[in-house]
């Protein structure tokens, strides 16, 4: 749990590459980012999900697995076997050309980056087999130890990924029936036939795990927080191996609300809590165990879904319902599942935004799990005029934010907010006391930006989380929900991490944040 005043940076790893990265932020880039954070007095790095995405997807919330790290984030030049093959100098002309292009791109080019890395990793694996496994070297024994230690999730994942590749990335429910159903004889034959591919998938995870562990250690006092997606794709090893625990005749989403007249359909399979309960929620416990092994803390995405899931049957005539249907059952289920994550010892924060029943937030308070306070949404909804709540009045057991990966940036919000919202914001004591010449009629600029950021840093919340774009006052979005666009999930820093260490704008931001941190006791 959070028990001290701290400030955090929120940024997706894909957005922060170094000059050595292959067109995307990588695991080995984390210590470089941590160095800038240390200068800025930021003690927590809140990352977006790092688990492997479904083929063709770019959203980190489209998880193909709840367990495996995405090979996209592996730093290929740091792989010993790739270096032994000549490294980047050994790439053929086509691969070298692609590498130059993805590095120069101002956005992440997922398909090209993935293809390039998988090609290089396959070559590295080939060298590992002949030079290490065949000779039973120290590295070969370390790999074998990793496979044995992590078999509780790795075996299932590697077999699934090998089969997925063998069937040209078709979804498992389109495989031949015996394999789709997990028939033991069919699986035994597949394991024998695909032994090399299975081991390759294990090798990639071994490399990713090693790079992650090294990077996390190098980050030192900067705590790395993960983001646990509410659900995984139906086409995942998790669902394939537990078909009785998930529904195939419905999807999950959210009901109609102020943001959508029709609600949202996420296309993800609902889980059967009654069936999972018979095995004491083994899959949920495995997710919690894996998360605690990777991160110092975790953000529970769509927290309300652990209490009640909004079911959207594929049959258009069937009613849409919450499951469980009644509050006592929802409360018992949610507190049990949240307790599973808390029991790992890792810090837990709960994404409780949107339409959330009062009893859920009361439950979080009893469990001592902080929920979110997004500054522009925090109002006294029961008072005349629904005034904004001054950040200084936020409870200590809260996570205060300027925005999330799905919201418009502070700059965009200021540009588009009605005049009365801007005026009400400027009248907040925490904001008004640092404004000088700027006011509600002022265009977005450094003074408005810093007044809002400083007010949040002075908030009563133990943890303040600042998106990177809001720190700099940029308008670049991470994602626009409900849209399919090339700009979603592809934003990159306008400079490399090496440049971030020396650019005057980045140095000024670090110094200002550090000064606020000292003033507000966020150390």
Q: How far apart, in whole angstroms, are the C-alpha atoms of residue 190 and residue 478?
A: 40
Task: Give strand pairing partners of 298.
Answer: 226, 348
Q: Model-level pTM?
A: 0.96
Distance CA(67)–CA(291), nearest Å, equals: 8
Contact 66, 236 (CB under 8 A): yes
Helix (H) / strand (E) containing 145: helix 138-149
3-class DSSP state of 461: coil
Q: In the beta sheet, which residues pair with residue 309?
A: 323
State the distance between the two ends of the chain, measured CA to CA, in whole angstroms. 17
Q: How many helices (H) and strands (E) does the chain have?
A: 22, 12
CB of 461 closer than 8 Å to CB of 400: yes
Residues 6+ apart with CB under 8 A from 498: 18, 19, 32
Topology classification of domain 6-151+223-520: TIM Barrel (3.20.20)
Residue with tokens 């009785």: 244
SS3 of residue 316 by DSSP: coil
Burial 216-246 (b: 16+ CB within 10 A, else e): beebeebbbbbbbbbbbbbbbbbbbbbbebb
Per-residue pLDDT tens listing for the chain (523 residues)? 555 899 999 999 999 999 999 999 999 999 999 999 999 999 999 999 999 999 899 999 989 999 999 999 999 999 999 999 999 999 999 999 999 999 999 999 999 999 999 999 999 999 999 999 999 999 999 999 999 999 999 999 999 999 999 999 999 999 999 999 999 999 999 999 999 999 999 999 999 999 999 999 999 999 999 999 999 999 999 999 999 999 999 999 988 876 677 788 999 999 999 999 999 999 999 999 999 999 999 999 999 999 999 999 999 999 999 999 999 999 999 999 999 999 999 999 999 998 899 999 999 999 999 999 999 999 988 888 889 999 999 999 999 999 999 999 999 999 999 999 999 999 999 999 999 888 999 999 999 999 999 999 999 999 999 999 999 999 999 999 877 778 899 999 999 999 999 999 999 999 999 999 999 999 7
């Amino acid at each position: 749990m959070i028990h001290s005043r701290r400030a955090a940076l929120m940024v997706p790893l894909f957005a922060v590459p170094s000059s050595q990265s292959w067109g995307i932020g990588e695991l080995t880039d984390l210590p470089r980012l941590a160095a800038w954070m240390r200068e800025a007095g930021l003690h927590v790095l809140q990352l977006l999900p790092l688990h492997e995405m479904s083929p063709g997807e770019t959203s980190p919330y489209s998880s193909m697995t709840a367990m495996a790290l995405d090979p996209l984030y592996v730093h290929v030049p740091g792989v010993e076997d790739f270096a032994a093959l000549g490294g980047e100098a050994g790439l053929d002309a086509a691969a070298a050309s692609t590498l130059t292009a993805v590095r120069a791109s101002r956005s992440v080019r997922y398909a090209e980056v993935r293809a390039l890395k998988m090609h290089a990793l396959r070559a590295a694996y080939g060298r590992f087999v002949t030079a290490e496994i065949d000779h039973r070297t120290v590295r070969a024994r370390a790999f074998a130890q990793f496979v044995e230690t992590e078999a509780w999730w790795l075996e299932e994942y590697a077999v699934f990924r090998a089969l997925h590749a063998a069937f040209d990335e078709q979804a498992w429910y389109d495989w031949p029936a015996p394999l789709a159903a997990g028939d033991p004889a069919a699986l035994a034959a597949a394991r024998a036939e695909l032994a090399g591919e299975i081991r390759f998938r294990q090798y990639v995870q071994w490399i990713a795990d090693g790079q992650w562990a090294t990077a996390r250690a190098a980050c030192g006092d900067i705590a790395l927080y993960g983001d646990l997606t509410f659900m995984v794709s139906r086409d995942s090893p998790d669902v394939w191996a537990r078909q009785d625990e998930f529904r195939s005749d419905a999807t999950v989403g959210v009901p109609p609300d102020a943001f959508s007249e029709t609600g949202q359909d996420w296309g993800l399979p609902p889980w059967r809590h009654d069936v999972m309960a018979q095995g004491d929620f083994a899959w949920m416990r495995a997710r919690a165990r894996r998360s605690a092994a990777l991160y110092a803390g975790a953000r529970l995405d769509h927290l309300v879904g652990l209490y009640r899931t909004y079911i959207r049957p594929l049959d258009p005539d069937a009613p849409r319902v919450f499951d469980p249907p009644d509050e006592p059952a929802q409360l018992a289920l949610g507190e049990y599942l949240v307790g599973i994550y808390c029991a790992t010892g890792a810090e837990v924060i709960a994404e409780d935004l949107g339409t959330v029943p009062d009893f859920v937030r009361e439950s979080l308070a009893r469990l001592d799990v902080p929920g979110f306070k997004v500054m522009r949404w925090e109002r006294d909804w029961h008072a005349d005029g629904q005034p904004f709540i001054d950040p200084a009045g936020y409870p200590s057991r809260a996570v205060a934010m300027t925005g999330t990966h799905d919201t418009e940036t502070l700059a965009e919000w200021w540009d588009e907010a009605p005049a009365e919202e801007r005026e009400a914001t400027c009248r907040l004591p925490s904001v008004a006391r640092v404004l000088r010449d700027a006011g509600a009629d002022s265009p977005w600029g450094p003074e408005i930006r810093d007044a809002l950021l400083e007010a949040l840093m002075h908030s009563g919340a133990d943890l303040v989380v600042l998106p990177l774009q809001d720190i700099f006052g940029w308008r670049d979005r991470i994602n626009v929900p409900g849209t399919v666009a090339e700009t979603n999930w592809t934003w990159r820093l306008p400079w490399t991490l090496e440049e971030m260490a020396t650019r005057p704008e980045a140095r000024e931001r670090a110094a200002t944040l550090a000064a606020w941190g000292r003033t507000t006791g966020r150390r």
